[in-house]
Amino acid sequence: MPNNYPHPLLAREGWPFIAIALAVALVINGAAGFGWALPFWLLFIFVVQFFRDPPRPIPQGAKDVLSPADGRIVAIEPVRDPYLDRDSVKISVFMNVFNVHSNRSPVDGEVVARWYNAGRFVNAALDKASVENERNALHLRTRDGHNVTCVQVAGLIARRILCYVEAGASLARGQRYGFIRFGSRVDVYLPPGSRARVTIGDKVSASSTILAELP
């Protein structure tokens, strides 16, 4: 898997796309001039901003659950965790195409299990995306024995979920473990008694925003 920080400010997953967009813009600029190439320069700028991957401060509170993604909070609710079959507190982060799309571990812990489910590609801002869309879930167990489920969910535009860890791996809070290309969502299922530190509509940043406190 890619190394944790320090790492390039542009995600490795985007290097081929950035190179292609730059090459096309340069060729058209050289052949037809800047006016014809302008849309392709704008596309290049969009691709660069989409794949940016800046380092972030990482809070170290023992009970803190960090945001696994950049975006906006679209759900905070008591639900049944569909992976561990238990009552839980679910917090969902929706990522649009202008957010950073690297995914980072919300807690220090061991990857107990990983599940992949093929599915649809409905708008990731909708609640039904959590159970209908293509998704990849990790069961993380903290050093204190708390179980946390972190689920990458593909969206309307996203067509590729990348996850670089398997069962048995150890993750540190804020460690980069995956990437989703284009608009998408990450759901976090927490044990009962967890206290949310965010509200619906809040903008959050991966690793640096505290989503909740474990019991």
27: pLDDT strictly greater than 90: yes
The answer to whether residue 184 is catalytic is yes
Using a cut of 0.85, tell me whether the model's pTM lies above it: no
d(CA 145, CA 3): 26
* Proportion of the chain above pLDDT 90, given as a percent: 61
What pLDDT, on a 0 to 100 scale, did the predictor assign at position 92? Answer: 95
Average pLDDT, the chain: 87
Which of 67, 102, 130, 184 is flagged as catalytic? Answer: 184
Which of 24-38, 84-98, 124-138 has the weakest average pLDDT? 124-138
Please say if the pLDDT value at position 5 is more than 80: no
Rounded average pLDDT over 12-20: 87
pLDDT at 131: 65
Predicted local distance difference test score (pLDDT) of residue 111: 97
Indicate left, alpha or beta for 38 from its phi (over 0: left) and psi (-120 to 50: alpha). Answer: alpha
- Per the model's pLDDT, the better-predicted residue between 119 and 141 turns out to be 141
3-class DSSP state of 58: coil
Q: Provide φ and ψ at 17, rounded to 5°.
A: -70, -40
Distance CA 60, CA 211 (A): 13
Q: Is the pLDDT of residue 139 over 90?
A: yes
Structure confidence at residue 99 (pLDDT): 87
Higher-confidence residue: 11 or 36? 36
CA distance 60 to 68: 15
pLDDT at residue 117 is higher than 50: yes
pLDDT at position 2, please?
40
Model pLDDT, residue 189: 98
**Token representation of residue 29:** 């600029």
Average pLDDT estimate for 130-155 = 88
